[in-house]
Structure formats: C-alpha cells, structure tokens
Structure 1
C-alpha cells in the first residue's frame, strides 16, 4: 500500500514537471489569451489516477510557476487564486476517470473517448472559473476600452479554456487510441 502511494505521488510530480516544461512553449496571443499545453499531462494523470491525484499534480504545477518565475503576481490574494486554487481545481479533470479507464479496459474506445472529453471539459471549466474570478477582481484594468472587467474576463478566459480543452482533447484522443495503456496503471 505504501509503495502504491509513493508511486502515485511520484507520477504526480513527474506529470507536474512535464506540464511546467510545456508551459514554456510560447502559445500566448496578447496578454490575456493563451493555450495551456500543460493541461495535456494534467489530463493524463487525472484519467490515470483520478480526482485527488489530479488535484495534487495541479497544485504542484501551480507552485512550480512561482519557482520558475512564470507567475504573474499583482498581489498575494491574486497569486493564491490563480496559482494555488485554480491549478488545484484541475482535480475535477478526474471526476470521470473510472468511467474512462473501465471503458478502455473493456475495449470500448468510443465510450472511453466520450467520458474523457466530458472529464476534460469539466476540469477545464473548473480551472478557468478561478482565472475568470481573478480576471474580474484583479485584471480589469487591462480590459479593452468599453469592456467591463466581467465581460473581458469571461471572453478571454472562456476563449482560453475552449482553446486549451480543444487542443489538449485532440492530443488525449490520439493518446487514447494509440497508447491506451498510458491511462491504465497496474
């Protein structure tokens, strides 16, 4: 039992590190829109190990932003929301992990892919909800002229969420088809 926990913790750390490395690939358009490739390994660990492991890996990934200088900090409360809470909410990417794994194990790839997309959408929305909140509370000064903070944050974080889920979802779909064992731990 101890070895299994240690293995899961090590997997979380490895996937968080890979997510951080992918975060350095520049896919930013302007100051408010980007595609977060780091969500790809987060979705893998979420499907592979479930809710709690995904939350822990997400928290580690968020904290790595501070260590690598990739965090944009206006004030401590904003940093807490955007790098601790938001990244921890990646946990919700694991809500349907058992359904994905059981369908994969049963050879029902189409059902596994449907459940995977569902869980990725939920996880993406859970994370970007907190970025939306931070956008309203802290980033409103950067809104386009004539846009309120709520609309600006909803549009920019909504577009980022959709783009991130779409790109990561395509990669996860390909991985589910080509490497299903990646999602089925022993």
Structure 2
C-alpha cells in the first residue's frame, strides 16, 4: 500500500470513528431499560465496505477504546467483560469488509453478518457476566438472548435501512477510486 493511500485510509478511519462516536452520543438517549437503539455502526460498516476487513477492524477497535476514554463504556464489571463487550465485539464490524462485491445485496449481507457477529459477543458476555440479572428461573443464555437480540434486531434493521438509503442516494460513499 502506498504511503499516500495509507494516510488516506487512516484519515477515513479517524473521520468514520468520530462520526460513529458523534451519532452514538446524540442518540444515546434512545434507551429503554437494557435496550438501546442506534445507527452509530453505519459509518464503520461503510468504512469496512470501502476499505476492507483490516481497516474496519481497526476502526471498530478505535471506536471501542474511544468509548472507554469518553466514559460511554457502561456496565463494566470485569476486565474480561470489557474486552469481550468493547474491543472484540466492535472489531467484528470489520466483517462487512470481507466481501469485495460492491453491489447492494452483498453490502447488506456482510453488514448484517458483521452486526450479528458483534452482538454474538455481547450475547456471550451477557451469559457470563450478566446472567445473574435474569428473572428467577430463566436461564442466563435466554436472558442474554432476549436482551441482546432485542437490541440487535432493531439496530440491524435501522442500520441496513440507512445503508440502503445512502447507497441509493450516494453510491460513491461505498467506493474508492480504485474500486469504482
């Protein structure tokens, strides 16, 4: 990768992480109990589609660390839980960059897979670290599935709808000059 291209990718990572963080801070008021609703993953997903797996993974990692630094990382009960819920889960958003197909169905498919992978790790963390919050008699895995699935599904739908709208209105957001 040329020096100029590397610099461009780093700048795109910085801009998309900042945009995700800004969206996250703005829509952080859309919470109902353990559920939160946000489209803040969209910039990271677009970056991954544009630049590939590795830049998407790095952007997810930077976003997770920025949330910790700015105090947006809530409910940290154990260092291992932090690693699962933040760096590991957020890095999964890079999966959207695995497919090099630039057609909307592939972008949506791999974005959905990335979101599912992210929430899979939240689900695992929920079983291990938050299962004690489950109602009496409810297994920890079911509680985590309900809470994390109840957050993942609307967030995934919102993100995929926004990606569809952006792709329809401004396809160039999903391409680099090289891939166009």
Q: Output the TM-score relative to the length of structure 2.
A: 0.91
User: Distance in 2 between the 1:15 and 1:44 partners?
Assistant: 8
How many matched pairs?
Answer: 173
Moved over 4 A (4+): none
Q: Which of the numbers 62, 67, 70 marks the counterpart of 2:69?
A: 67
User: Distance in 2 between the 1:144 and 1:185 partners?
Assistant: 49
Residue in 2 aligned with 1:27?
A: 30
* Bigger Cα displacement from structure 2, 10-19 vs 142-151: 142-151
CA-to-partner distance for each residue in 1:95-128, whole Å, 9 max, x for gaps? Answer: 22x102xxxxxxxxxxx22111101111011111
Cα pair 2:88 2:121 within 8 Å, conserved = yes
> Is 1:170 paired with 2:161?
yes
Residue in 2 aligned with 1:49?
A: 51
> Is 1:113 paired with 2:100?
no
Cα pair 2:19 2:43 within 8 Å, conserved = yes
Q: Which of the numbers 96, 121, 133 marks the counterpart of 1:142?
A: 133
Residue in 2 aligned with 1:16?
A: 17
RMSD, aligned α-carbons? 1.2
> Is 1:131 paired with 2:131?
no
Gaps of 5+ in 1: 101-111
User: Distance in 2 between the 1:156 and 1:61 partners?
Assistant: 22
